Amino acid sequence: MTRRTISDISGLERQWTNEGSLTNRGANVSVSGVLVNTSDLKWQLGFTLGHYKNKIESLPLTANNRLETWALDANGDKVASSHRVLSGYTSSVYGKDNILTAVGESAGVFYGY
């Protein structure tokens, strides 16, 4: 989901749209068995193991989709060699601008400090 700036006549500044592309890769393994099976008791045991990775491949080009980031040193100053420009945006679940959506990153990355 991406944010698009829309006409003021709608009464909203932005709307969520389904644009861009995302790649998902992963595996899931499940094992289960019946340990005890009597008329009085049935005991089953099972577990599932999964590992997934996703990556945002593209986002639409809009004025809202450009981020600049820096690492900070011990004094809180920007480290010039760490400067990155990302095609993406931040949104909020709890707090302010703490979820990163950017090309080359995983979906739903917590961002900030």
pLDDT of residue 50: 97
pLDDT single digits (tens) 26-53: 999 999 999 999 999 999 999 999 999 9
The residue type at 48: T
pLDDT of residue 112: 66
Contacts of 45 (CB under 8 A, 6+ apart): 32, 33, 35
99, pLDDT greater than 90: no
Q: How many other C-beta atoms can be found within 10 angstroms of the C-beta atom of residue 109?
A: 14
- pTM of the entire structure? 0.61
For 53, the 3-state DSSP assignment is strand
